[in-house]
Amino acid sequence: MTSILIKFFANAVALAAAVWIVGDITLGDSTTSDSDRVVTLLVVALIFGLVNLIVKPIVKLFALPLLILSLGLFALVINALMLMLTAAIAGDSFEVDGFGAALLGGLIISIVSWAVTMVLDRD
């Protein structure tokens, strides 16, 4: 149970970092209050976690030849696609403008999520 909460918290922190660093990834609009943005961030983190849990393994299975040929670098493209799918599911509350922003955001999310999980998960 704590592992799920750690991954959820890591996703939320990583998404917040991506929104903060990448200008083309937005969370809400300019009139949204900070408390609403936190709630939106938590909902988007939940959606992102479910997308990574359900859709990402299927996409990786079908993309296995490309993953092997690119020595795993195609995983960055898969992460970007999962971020764009999350934005499509979340609607207007979370937007990713373009594939370049999604690629950079996916890279940031991967690194930050890994680092937060390493710090918090002491098993």
Gap between the Cα atoms of 120 and 53, Å rounded: 20
pLDDT of residue 123: 64
pLDDT of residue 36: 84
The burial of 23, by beta-carbon neighbours within 10 Å (0-12 exposed, 13-18 middle, 19 or more buried), is given as: exposed
Residue of 106, 44, 45 whose CA lies nearest to 79 = 106
Residue, of 37 and 79, whose pLDDT is higher: 79
Considering the entire predicted model, what is its pTM? 0.89
- For residue 110, is pLDDT > 80? yes
Where does the pLDDT of residue 1 fall: very low under 50, low under 70, confident under 90, or very high at 90 and above?
low
Contact criterion met (CB below 8 Å) for 90 and 47: yes
Residue, of 29 and 67, whose pLDDT is higher: 67
**pLDDT, tens digit (0-9, with 9 covering 90-100), for 41-92:** 999 999 999 999 999 999 999 999 999 999 999 999 999 999 999 999 998 8
* Tally of CB atoms within 10 A around 28: 19
Contact criterion met (CB below 8 Å) for 98 and 24: yes
Domain ranges of the chain: 2-118
**pLDDT, tens digit (0-9, with 9 covering 90-100), for 7-18:** 899 999 999 999
